[in-house]
Amino acid sequence: MKFVEDLKADVTTDIVYMMCPMHLLKLEEKIRELDDGQILEIMTDYDGALEDIPGWCEKTGNEFLGIKETEDFYKFYIRKKVRKQ
């Protein structure tokens, strides 16, 4: 797992305590709203996201930048893929 520090996100979404698979639904919804190359931060306490989010990024071509752990939850950082002109 990649750990990151001091990464500045363009958009943050807090889904702590929301049930699985909200982490994937929100991820999809928020990435759609971002501009190419922008960074999304997702806060979740769901352990399964440690596998699901990197896996989703690989499948969709978005860049998984890493996570940051806090006492109660994780922060995931994802950069939206830049589409070819």
Partner 1 sequence: MRKCYFDHVATNPLDSRVLDEMMPYFKEEFGNPLSMYELGSKAKEAIDNARGQVASLIGSKASEIVFTASGAEANNFALRGIALARQNEGKHAIVSKMEHHSILNSARFLEKMGFVVTYLPVDKHGVVDPDTVKKAIIKETTLISVTHASSEVGTIEPIKEIAAIAREKKIIFHTDAVATAGNIPIDIKDLGVDLLSMAAHQFYGPKGAGALYVREGLRIVPLIYGGIQENGRRAGTENVPAIAGMGKAAELAVNEMNSRIEHGRRLRDKLLKIKSSAENVHLTGHPENRLPGHASFCVEFIEGEAMLLLLSAKGVYAASGSACSSKALKASPVLLSMGIPSGLAQGSIVFTLGKDNTDDDIEYLLAEFPQVIKRLREISPYGKGWGIEGEGGQCTVQK
Residue 9 near partner 1 by CB under 8 A: no
Is 57 noted as a catalytic residue in this protein? no
Nearest partner of 57 among 49, 68, 46, judged by Cα: 49
Q: Which is nearer to partner 1, 21 or 54 (CB)?
A: 21
Q: Do residues 67 and 35 make contact, with C-beta atoms less than 8 angstroms apart?
A: no
Residue 17 near partner 1 by CB under 8 A: yes
**Closest distance of CB 82 from partner 1, Å:** 30
Cis peptide upstream of residue 54 (ω within 30 degrees of 0): no
Q: Which two tokens stand for residue 50?
A: 């440690």
**Contact footprint for partner 1 (CB under 8 A):** 14-22, 25, 71-72
